[in-house]
Chain A
Amino acid sequence: MTTWTRLLTAALCAAAAFVPNGAGAQTIAITGGKVYPVSGPPIENGTVLIKDGKIVAVGANVTVPSDAEKVDASGKWVTPGLVDAETQLGLVEVGFGAGANESRARSEQGITPDFTSWDGLNPRSALIPPAREDGITSVMSTPGGGLIAGQAAMIDLFGDTRAGMILRAPAAMIASIEDQGGDGAPAKGQQIARLREILQDTRYYQKHVAEFDRGQSRQMSVSPASLAALVPVLTGKVPLLINVDEASDIQSAIDLAKEFGIKLIIGGGAEAWEVADRLAAARIPVLAGAMSNDPISFSALGSRQDNVALLRKAGVQVALIGNGGGDEELFNVRNIRYEAGNAVGYGLTWNEALKAITQAPAEIFGVADRIGTLQAGREANVVVWDGDPFEFATRAVAVYVRGQKQNDVSRQDLLTKRYETQPPNYEKP
């Protein structure tokens, strides 16, 4: 049997075995592997017991019920499903020139906090299987563009409904303080002033909703829907994620967060290492990559690959995001594990790197009670690897999301299969 025949057969068998609703209603025991729960130390010859879509036990001495489906993971590595803290999965199907982009709201000023991006989420996106095949089971699906882009959701790569996928929405309000290049956009001081004005309006709105509803409020700088969307940011229920690179601008963001008592997350943060102590003191997490050392703009002159390692050393919580170039928010979300490998190459410990693509993003976005670790009670998002997951030679040999084994055959798999022999047979998948 060729690899391909095996793959397709497996997929067909999986399809035949698929029972809606009852799919998670089974017990699975993944045994014999080296288990990395992330919430605790690695377990040699460990067992992960899954029941009804949840993890029910993890350890070296787990009793496996006789009716459990046993999965032999001897010689394999078992980790939580990987989490990518910044993607456009489900929102964008083709990057450019195809009208298949639901990640950007339109407005004159680029201020759309009321944009609930997940209302355009496509659970059937052809970009989900390639990510899931490589062990990515949860992602932030994030809008972009403008000063306040809108609201992002944390989703499981699971099922075919939006409601079923969403772990938390909104999981963050997305904003940016950016170098504006030559396109005439405002100075960063004005961007920050505008954010402050909007937050002040939100605070006023929050205290005067009744007057506002009676039409007795003062003039506001943004729409009522925008203000209503920002109230949870002011109350600390939803974090404000500001994409910002330059150290001095990160400081401005820290000050703004302090002024309004909001939960801040720094995204990108090319120069975050320069203000690592202040970020640590304010307990502000950072989403950053480990693969750019390019002084690509005057706001990112201090880019360095060991940014993440330095931030961790200072005690900053860090989730890894792709920054090595190469479409890592869509087609190559799957490459987040190589970002982790490179982070290790630049000084992060291996365990910290795994945490930065599992538990850390789950904590940062408030879903640590659902995903990110292998612990009883968590969603059974589990990956079995045939080696070190950060290495290029390693493959995910089994991927479970909410206890269901995934048997993806991606568009890329089908194309590869079709053209393996030439000329191709167009009557076959």
Chain B
Amino acid sequence: MRMLALALAITVAGCAKQAPATQAPVPARADTTTARTDTTPPATVGPGALSVPNADPYPSTYKPFPSKPTLIENVTIFTAVGPRIVNGALLMKDNKIAAVGKSADDPAIKQAEGGESPVVIDGTGKFITPGIVDVHSHLGVYPAPAVESNSDGNELVNPATPYVWAEHSIWPQDPQFPRNLAGGVTTLQVLPGSGNLFGGRSAILKVVPSRTVQGMKFPGAKYGLKMACGENPKRVYGNRGGPQTRMGNMAGYRAEWIKAEAYRRKWDAWLKNRKGEPPQRDLGLETLAEVLRGNILVQMHCYRADEMAQVIDMSHEFGYKVRAFHHGVEAYKIADLLAKEGIGAAVWADWGDFKMEALDAVRANMALLWKAGVKVMIHSDDPLGSQRLNQEVAKAMAAGRAIGLNITEEDAVKWMTINPAWALDLESKIGSLETGKDADVVLWSGDPFSVYTHTEKVWVDGALLYDRSDPQARWRSDFELGFVPVETTVGGPQR
């Protein structure tokens, strides 16, 4: 089976027949035909006419699923912040991690139980980790089945489409969502594709069943902006107006940032006293202005080291930060620069060679970045890879140890939990097993870095949403009903 990256490349080519649009669509302007003398906006202007920082017009309606206080005891705990706790205990209560302790009798746990008896799970021989965070997913925008009608990830009509939002494409019935949950993934960043210089806004989701995208959206999460370097935009636009070259890519970004900076100044000035006619809202420039204000995080697809260095200079030129470079197969070549800039690296364990810009992939990439002090994290870009990110981390850890780096499992756990949580600016809510954090927890049948280990149970905000031992209770998407034989349901046989 071909990897998704290649599939996307083909999809990109397939969509290239569409006529290019030159102008981003903008919402209808507020009525300004009537001359007004007062200084407040006309009463008929709805919130949609204004370009307001941190606006949330499609708000999350996510509510945690019903849960019972649950204690996992006699279990090895990887907290993602400290050394492992052997034969420890963890209590989930009221959607949060209520306490982590050395045993079920730990005073902290007893106190958090508050006299109530929790559901007790014996974790003998088993491990728990925080829920896995995948910062590079296309679930819902490139769902299964991967048919043309469902291909909603790349708005290939213009190299700059910061005006599209992934959440407006995501199909909550993508059968890949339950499969990701079964792999221990509890938070996803769903990104638009990489065919455009500016691909659009990402969506941060809790991996839960829902009728609507709003019902999956991570409450309070910042948006990301997908940007892309290198071959993909060149390939898509090379024979239809450009960019045709890497220098064309750079010119394309810079032209947009110049417009965005002017837009931000105009709106910030107006928003100061909200007097007079408001400037015209522009969805694309609004997203870019939010990046310049620090309210949206740049998540940039970039393979080659030299291109990342160009982008870093560009970020200085326009005064924004790249939160993380994604794919980054050459990130190890500039590990020192990334560390100095405080930019995260979201990478694969061992993908490479599938195109020229992926040629210099090495398996020690993550390990070398870790050694240099870079916030490094695993990512999938793939509906199958995301089901076993623990295995990907295991490979990356082994590659580092093979060149003599002393990477502990405690270090490696961070690569799939707290570090990607940081990339989403959610590290205060998820990514580690600490009191007060969201109770996103994975129970593993053994060491999560063994090839034979499976997830056994997965909790999202304290609610048990995946249980390997209970095939009847599994989340099946609408699509699967009557199409996908029930016996194939994620998980396979009990070992």
A residues contacting B by CB (< 8 A) are: 2-4, 94-98, 127, 181-183, 268, 274, 289, 291-298, 300-306, 309, 322-328, 330-332, 335, 338, 341-342, 344-347, 390-393, 395, 412, 415-416, 419-420, 422-424
Residue of A nearest to B386 (CB): A325
B residues contacting A by CB (< 8 A) are: 1, 3-4, 6, 9, 14, 144-148, 175-176, 179, 231, 235, 332-336, 348, 350-356, 358-364, 368, 372, 382-385, 387-388, 391, 394-395, 397-398, 401-404, 449-454, 479-480, 483-485, 487-488, 490, 492-493, 495
Contacts of A332 in B (CB 8 A): 350-351
For residue A141, give the distance in angstroms from its CB to the closest CB of chain B.
Answer: 16
Contacts of A95 in B (CB 8 A): 6, 353-355, 358
Q: How far is the CA of A3 from the CA of B3 in the complex (A)?
A: 33
For residue A364, give the distance in angstroms from its CB to the closest CB of chain B.
Answer: 19
Known: A324-B384, A344-B452, A392-B449. A293 touches B490 (CB 8 A): yes
- A345 B145 Cβ-Cβ under 8 A: no
- B493 A293 Cβ-Cβ under 8 A: no
Known: A3-B402, A416-B362. A327 touches B354 (CB 8 A): yes
30 A-B pairs with C-beta separation under 8 A:
A4-B404, A94-B355, A127-B353, A182-B14, A294-B383, A304-B488, A309-B493, A325-B382, A325-B384, A326-B348, A326-B351, A327-B351, A327-B354, A331-B351, A331-B352, A332-B350, A335-B350, A338-B395, A345-B495, A346-B493, A347-B495, A390-B451, A392-B451, A395-B398, A395-B402, A416-B363, A419-B332, A419-B368, A422-B333, A422-B336
Known: A297-B146, A335-B350, A422-B336. A416 touches B403 (CB 8 A): yes
Contacts of B387 in A (CB 8 A): 293
- B493 A294 Cβ-Cβ under 8 A: no
Known: A327-B353, A330-B354, A332-B351. A292 touches B384 (CB 8 A): yes
Contacts of A331 in B (CB 8 A): 350-354, 361
Q: How far is the CA of A145 from the CA of B383 in the complex (A)?
A: 24
Q: How far is the CA of A298 from the CA of B404 in the complex (A)?
A: 46
Q: How far is the CA of A95 from the CA of B355 in the complex (A)?
A: 5
- A96 B145 Cβ-Cβ under 8 A: no
For residue B177, give the distance in angstroms from its CB to the closest CB of chain A.
Answer: 12
For residue A379, give the distance in angstroms from its CB to the closest CB of chain B.
Answer: 27
Q: How far is the CA of A182 from the CA of B146 in the complex (A)?
A: 11
| Max count, chain A CB within 10 A of own CB: residue among B144, B176, B353, B495 | B353
Q: Identify which of A306, A416, A424 contacts B493 (C-beta below 8 A).
A: A306
For residue A428, give the distance in angstroms from its CB to the closest CB of chain B.
Answer: 15
- B147 A304 Cβ-Cβ under 8 A: no
Known: A292-B384, A326-B351, A416-B368. A341 touches B452 (CB 8 A): yes
- B354 A297 Cβ-Cβ under 8 A: no
- B451 A391 Cβ-Cβ under 8 A: yes
Residue of A nearest to B494 (CB): A347
Contacts of B1 in A (CB 8 A): 268, 289, 292, 296, 322-325, 328
For residue A285, give the distance in angstroms from its CB to the closest CB of chain B.
Answer: 19
Known: A294-B384, A304-B488, A390-B451. A327 touches B352 (CB 8 A): yes
Residue of A nearest to B372 (CB): A422
